[in-house]
Amino acid sequence: AQTVTQSQPEMSVQEAETVTLSCTYDTSESDYYLFWYKQPPSRQMILVIRQEAYKQQNATENRFSVNFQKAAKSFSLKISDSQLGDAAMYFCAYTNQAGTALIFGKGTTLSVSS
Amino acid sequence: DVKVTQSSRYLVKRTGEKVFLECVQDMDHENMFWYRQDPGLGLRLIYFSYDVKMKEKGDIPEGYSVSREKKERFSLILESASTNQTSMYLCASRYAGTGTYEQYFGPGTRLTVT
């Protein structure tokens, strides 16, 4: 069975600094999709970034980028130039090519200080 | 933009009551999902639906049932609410065709069973 592990329950960063959130996963599939979702306090969960396993190039979305290491089954999220609005719980998630339900990690709570 | 709405943000029910949580999406998505979110456990899949009148059990279906009579609406039913069902419930939807497999989430319903 596929699993997703986020080993950092909490992280903190100062404004304008860079922070990296870790995620590892386990699967025997060769084709799959990985996601980072953001859930601000009392607000809706939104997609931050996605990565297709068949793509070697790491995905980037403005200040957010990933380091996808397929052989190591690692999928970390880097947030550059952190802003107060980045404070949230971040979930790493996996789905296989059949595209059924997402499998989530337990989440990392990120706090940002000024 | 995709919009997923849930009937209530906060709900308080008594033990033994029958509880209905409603979810509506406006993007003609075939797939819909119900997750339960608990601190330290991340999101866990309760049920999902491939299409109208179709449903599949997720990881924690005990004590829950679902109904999907129309494509845009997916209901989660707690047949006899218990205190261990106090939780945050998140609905999501997804386009079933090939693509990114991104899921779009509703704002969540925080259910308290007393």
Give the Cα separation of A9 and A23 in Å (integer).
11
Mutate to test the interface with B, among A8, A96, A102 (most CBs of B within 10 A): A102
Q: Per the CB < 8 Å rule, is B105 touching A46?
A: yes
How confident is the model over A32-53, as pLDDT tens digits?
Answer: 999 999 999 888 999 999 999 9
Secondary structure element (H or E) that encloses residue B98, with its range: none
Count of structural domains, chain B: 1
Which backbone phi and psi does A76 adopt, to 5 degrees? -95, 155
In a domain, B114, yes or no: no
Taking CB atoms and an 8 Å cutoff, what residues of chain A touch B5? none
Residue B10 backbone phi and psi in degrees, to 5: -135, 140
Could you tell me if B49 and B61 are in contact, meaning their C-beta atoms sit under 8 angstroms apart? no
pLDDT along chain A (114 residues), means of 10: 93 98 95 95 92 92 96 97 97 85 94 96
Domain that holds residue B47: 4-8+16-107
Residue B113 within any structural domain of the chain: no
The CATH number covering residue B100 comes to 2.60.40.10
Report all structural domains of chain A as residue ranges with CATH numbers, in order of start: 3-113 (2.60.40.10)
In a domain, B81, yes or no: yes
pLDDT (tens digit per residue) in B56-98: 999 999 999 999 999 999 999 999 999 999 999 999 999 887 7
Q: So what's the pLDDT on residue B96? A: 82
**Is the Cβ of A47 closer than 8 Å to some Cβ of chain B?**
yes
Q: Do A33 and B101 touch (CB under 8 A)?
A: yes
